[in-house]
Structure 1
Amino acid sequence: MTETKRIATYCGIAAPVVTLGAILLATFVAPPETFTWRTRALSDMGRYGAPTFPLFNGGLIVGGLIGFPFAWRLWTASRNRLERAGIVLLAVTVLGQIGVGIFFLEHTAVYLERSFHAVAALSVFGVAPFAGWVYGAGAALAGDRRLALSSILIGLVHPLAWAVWILSLDGGADTDTWFAVPEFVAAVAFGGWVLLLAVTIASRNDDTGWSAR
């Protein structure tokens, strides 16, 4: 493994640590009027004017930028078209994460007349599970049963988290109630999957195959 590839692999470890670390730290330091798990979304911590504005949005942007070299590293280690398709979806998710930080809530008060926050958020939460499923299918095709199963199962965490949240509303609660919880679960699932991929790539003996199937 070349030094460039080694650094890119480590980016896959650093990216989720930076992103999730910033989100979690923001939840601790955010004042109640800005964020509570019960009444707010995670993006409220990045709302224009919020005390956690630089921490939350900065963490998303920096974490996303760190993630791109790892996406390239995954591409160089891919073994079939399905894995590469999954990597493209992973990159779209990372781009969406950066977009959430750039197109923060109420960014129209600073620049642009149209809000792109919802589009960015949807590209994260909507695309992330498909990235895991498609890449997992590619790993299965390559004979990597453990990585395939892990990727597919982690991908299932996303819709399950949202399904449990919807059922918990029971048709009567405001849709903002506990909205941050499934968001955070989905973020942890995606970050955990990226970390798993980074550890997997780092443990390979070479650039073409898995060291122990």
Structure 2
Amino acid sequence: MTETKRLATYCGIAAPLVTLGAILIATLVAPPETFTWRTRALSDMGRYGAPTFPLFNGGLIVGGLIGLPFAWRLWTASRNRLERAGIALLVVTVVGQIGVGIFFLEHTAVYLERSLHPVAALSVFGVAPFAGWVYGTGAARAGDTRLAVASIAIGFVHPLTWAGWVLALDGAVDTDTWFAVPEFVAAVAFGSWILLLAVTIAYRHDDPDWSAR
């Protein structure tokens, strides 16, 4: 493994830690009028003028940028078209994450007349599970059963979490009630998958037969 590829693999470990760390710290320091788990979305911490504005948005942007080199590393280690398709969806998710930070809530007060925040958020939460399912299917085709099962299973965390949230609200979709909880669970699921992929790539280099065991 070249030094460039090694650093790119490490990016797969650093990216979710930076992103999730920034989100978690923001939830701890945000004043109640800005964020509570019960009444706010995570993006409220990145709203224009919020005290956690630089921490939350900066964490999403920096974490996403760190994740892009890992996507390249993953692509170089891909074994078939399905894995590459899953990686492409992963990139869409990461770019969406960066977009959430750039197109923060009420960014229209600073630039642009049209809010792009919903589009960026949908790119994250809507595409992430498909990335896991498609990549996992490719891993299965490559004979990497453990990675396939883990990727597909983590992908299912997203819809199951959102479905559980909707059911808990008696079928009502209310972004003002506990909305941050499924958002955070989905973010942790995606970050965990990235960590899994990074560790897998590292082990695969050290032991080429690891995935077949």
Common fold: TM-score over 0.5: yes
Residues 144-165 of structure 1: CA deviation (Å, up to 9, x unaligned): 0000000000000000000000
Counterpart CA distance in 1 for 2:7 and 2:31 is 37
Residue 204 (structure 1) shift? 1.1
RMSD between aligned residues: 1.3
Counterpart CA distance in 2 for 1:134 and 1:174 is 30
Say whether residues 1:211 and 2:173 are aligned partners.
Answer: no
Residues matched between the structures, number: 212
In the alignment, what sits opposite 1:146? 146
In the alignment, what sits opposite 1:124? 124
Counterpart CA distance in 2 for 1:173 and 1:143 is 40
Residues 122-149 of structure 1: CA deviation (Å, up to 9, x unaligned): 0000000000000000000000000000
Matched residue type, 1:69:
P
Residue 212 (structure 1) shift? 4.1
In the alignment, what sits opposite 1:73? 73
Are the counterparts in 2 of residues 20 and 188 from structure 1 also a CA contact under 8 Å?
yes
Percent identical pairs in the alignment equals 85
Residue 175 (structure 1) shift? 3.6
- Structure 1, unmatched stretches of 5+, are none
Counterpart CA distance in 1 for 2:43 and 2:56 is 8
Residue 211 (structure 1) shift? 2.6
Matched residue type, 2:86:
G
Structure-2-length-normalised TM-score: 0.97
Matched residue type, 2:198:
A
* DSSP 3-state at the match of 1:177: coil
Are the counterparts in 1 of residues 129 and 156 from structure 2 also a CA contact under 8 Å?
yes
Structure-1-length-normalised TM-score: 0.97
Runs of 4+ in 1 over 2 A off after TM superposition: 171-175, 209-212
